[in-house]
Amino acid sequence: MAKLITMEKENIIERNYYTQKILPYIGQPIIKILTGQRRVGKSCILKQLISYIQSTDNESLIIYINKELKEFSTLHNDDDLYQYILSKIDINKNNYVFIDEIQEIINFQNCLRSLLAEEKCDIYCTGSNATMLSGELATLLAGRYMEFHIHSLSYSEFLIFHRLSDSDESLQKYMRIGGMPYLIHFKGNEQLCVDYLQNLYSTILLKEVISKKQIRNPQFLTQLVEFISDNVGSLFSASSISKYLKSQRLQLPTQMVMDYSSALQQAYFIYKVLRSDIQGLKIFEVGEKFYFEDLGIRNAIRGFNPLADVQKWMENLVYLQLLRKGYSVYIGKNNDLEIDFLGQKLQNRVYVQVTYRLDNEQTREREIRSLLQCKDNFLKYIVTLDNFRTGITPEGIIIIHLRDFLMDKM
Q: What is the mean pLDDT of residues 30-56?
A: 96
Kindly tell me if the per-residue pLDDT of 10 is higher than 90.
no
pLDDT in tens, 225-275: 999 999 999 998 899 988 888 888 777 789 999 999 999 999 999 999 999
Per the prediction, the chain carries an average pLDDT of 92
Q: What is the mean pLDDT of residues 157-183?
A: 97
pLDDT in tens, 57-70: 999 999 999 998 99
CATH 3.30.70.20 fits 7-149, yes or no: no
Rounded percentage of the chain residues whose pLDDT exceeds 90? 77
pLDDT for the residue numbered 309: 93
Helix 155-162 × helix 168-177 angle, to 10°: 100
Residues 57 and 9: their CA atoms lie apart, in Å, by: 19
User: Domains of the chain: which residue ranges?
Assistant: 7-149, 155-406
pLDDT for the residue numbered 168: 96
pLDDT in tens, 71-108: 999 999 999 999 999 999 999 999 999 999 999 999 99
Residues 114 and 108: their CA atoms lie apart, in Å, by: 10
SS (H, E, C) the chain: CCCCCCHHHHCCCCCHHHHHHHHHHCCCCCEEEEECCCCCCHHHHHHHHHHHHHHHCCCEEEEEEECCCHHHCCCCEHHHHHHHHHHHCCCCCEEEEEEECHHHCECHHHHHHHHHHHCCCEEEEEECCHHHHCCHHHHHCCCCEEEEECCCCCHHHHHHHHCCCCCHHHHHHHHHHCCCHHHHHHCCCHHHHHHHHHHHHHHHHHHHHHCCCCCCCHHHHHHHHHHHHHCCCCCECHHHHHHHHHHCCCCCCHHHHHHHHHHHHHCCCEEEEEEEECCCCCEEEEEEEEEECCHHHHHHHHCCCHHHHHHHHHHHHHHHHHHHCCCEEEEEEECCEEEEEEEEECCEEEEEEECCCCCCHHHHHHHHHHHHCCCCCCEEEEEECCCCCCEECCCCCEEEEHHHHHCCCC
Q: Report the 10 Å Cβ neighbour count for 161.
A: 18
Kindly tell me if the per-residue pLDDT of 9 is higher than 90.
no
pTM of the model: 0.94
Q: What is the mean pLDDT of residues 308-322?
A: 96
pLDDT for the residue numbered 108: 93
CA angle at 173 for the pair 359 and 379, rounded to the nearest 5°: 50
Kindly tell me if the per-residue pLDDT of 390 is higher than 70.
yes
